[in-house]
Structure 1
Amino acid sequence: DKLPTVPSPTPEPTPTPRPKMPPPTRIQIPSVGIDAPVVEVGYKIVEIQGVKVIEWEVAEYAAGHHNTSANPGEGGNIVITGHNDWKGEVFRTLERVKLGDEVILTSDAGVFRYRVTEIHYRKEVGVPLEERIATGRFLDPMPEERVTLVTCWPYGIDDHRIIVVAKPVG
C-alpha cells in the first residue's frame, strides 16, 4: 500500500507591519468614574528567591502605561497599571468594574474604545513565586489587541491583584 501523500505546508503569509502608534495619554472608565492621565513607565530587573524578574514602576497621580507594551491601534497587549489606595488612587474604583463596561483610551491618534471581557482576582502575597510569575503573564505581549489593567486589592491591604482585560469594540 502507498502511504497517503501530505501536501507540503504553505509558507505563512507575512503580516502587514502595523504602523507605530502613539502611547495612550488618558484612560476613562465612565461606569466607575475613572478618568486619569496616562504616563509612560519602565521597569527594573530584581531578584526574588534567586530568580530574576521584571518589576514595573507604578506611576504616581496617574495611570502608568508599560513602555514596552502595545499602544492603542497597534494590535497587541496595552498594559496600564495604577494605584488604588495611595499617590492619586487613580484605580480606586477599578474593583467595581463589570463585564461589558467600556474602557476608553485616548492618544494623539484619537479615541479607542474597548469592552471589559475578563476580570481576575489573583493572590499576590504569600503565594509561591511560580504563581506570582503566572499572574505576571497577563502583562506579556499578546497577538490580539487588548487592554490589560492592573491594580492592588483590597483597599489598604493590597495582597491581591485585580486584572481587568478589555477587547476592542467593533
Structure 2
Amino acid sequence: MPQEPPKEPKVFDFSLILIILGSILILVFAGWRFYTARILSFEGQVQEAVAKEGYRPVSIKISSINLSLDVSEGAVADGVWQISKTGASHLNVSVNPGEGGNTVIYGHNKNSLFGPIRWLEKGAEIEVSDENGNKYIYVVSETLEVTPDKIDYVLPKSEEVLTLYTCTGLFDSKRFIVIAKPFSFLTTP
C-alpha cells in the first residue's frame, strides 16, 4: 500500500491577525483621544464671569517648585480646551487677578510646564503678574485630584481664588487642581 505524503500543518496567517489587531488598537486610541479632548466641554454657551476691568495675567512664578512661565489667553472652543504648548494659559472666561472671582490658569502636564504643580504643598506661594506689572501673591490652600467631568472648580466663584489646573494620572485620565487664596497685592510704582 503506497504511503500518503505527510500533511502539512495549517499555518495561521499571523500577518493578517496582526493587521487586524493593529487596526483595532488604532481605532481604540483614536476614540480615546476624541473622548479626552471633549470630556471637559461645557454644555451650552459659556458666559464670562464678570465684565473684566483689570489686566490679564501674563506670567506665573512658583519659587518652591522652581516654575516660571508666561501666561497667554486660552479658551474652550467647540468643547476643546485651547492650551499653550510653551507656557500656561488663562481661561478667558474666568476673571483676571484681583477682580474678586475665580482666576483659572492651566497648562500641560510636562516637567517644563505645569507638571510640577502636583508637588505643591499647602502654604506655598504663587505669584501672578498682570500686563500692567502688578503682582498678586496667592497661598495654596488645597490640592486635589478629580475626574475630568468635575468642572465646577473652573466655574465662576463669588470669592477671589486662583485655580491652577493640569492633567494627571495614567494617560492623563484625571485632573490635578490647586486652589490658592489671595495673600498680598503689589502695584507697580
TM tier, shorter chain? 0.7 to 0.9
Would the alpha carbon gap of residues 43 and 113 (structure 1) be closer, same or farther in structure 2, given more than 3 Å must change?
A: same
- CA displacement at 1:118 relative to structure 2: 1.0
State yes or no: 1:41 paired with 2:66: no
Residues 83-110 of structure 1: per-residue CA shift (max 9 Å, x gap): 013xx84112111100000010001230
Q: State the AA in 1 paired with 2:160.
A: E
Q: Distance in 1 between matches of 2:59 and 2:94?
A: 16
Alignment of 1:4-19 (within 5 A): none
Q: What is the one-letter code of the residue matched to 2:68?
A: D
Structure 1 residue 45: Cα displacement: 3.2
Instruction: Indicate conservation of the 8 Å contact 1:63/1:80, yes or no.
Output: yes
Please tell me whether residue 72 in structure 1 is matched to residue 97 in structure 2.
yes
TM-score when normalising by structure 1: 0.73
2:130 is the counterpart of 1:116: no
Q: Which residue does the alignment assign to 1:61?
A: 86
State which structure, 1 or 2, has the greater radius of gyration over its C-alpha atoms: 2
- Please state whether the residue corresponding to 2:118 is helix, strand or coil: helix
Q: 1:102 corresponds to which letter in structure 2?
A: E
- The answer on whether the counterparts of 2:108 and 2:114 sit within 8 Å (CA) in structure 1 is yes
SS of aligned partner of 2:137: strand
List structure 1 runs of 4+ shifted beyond 3 angstroms: none
CA-based RMSD: 1.9
Q: Of 6, 24, 29, which aligns to 2:62? A: 29
RCO (CA 8 Å, sep 6+): is it higher in 1 or 2? 1
Give the structure with the larger helix fraction. 2
Specify the alignment match of 1:95 in structure 2: 118
Aligned residues: 134
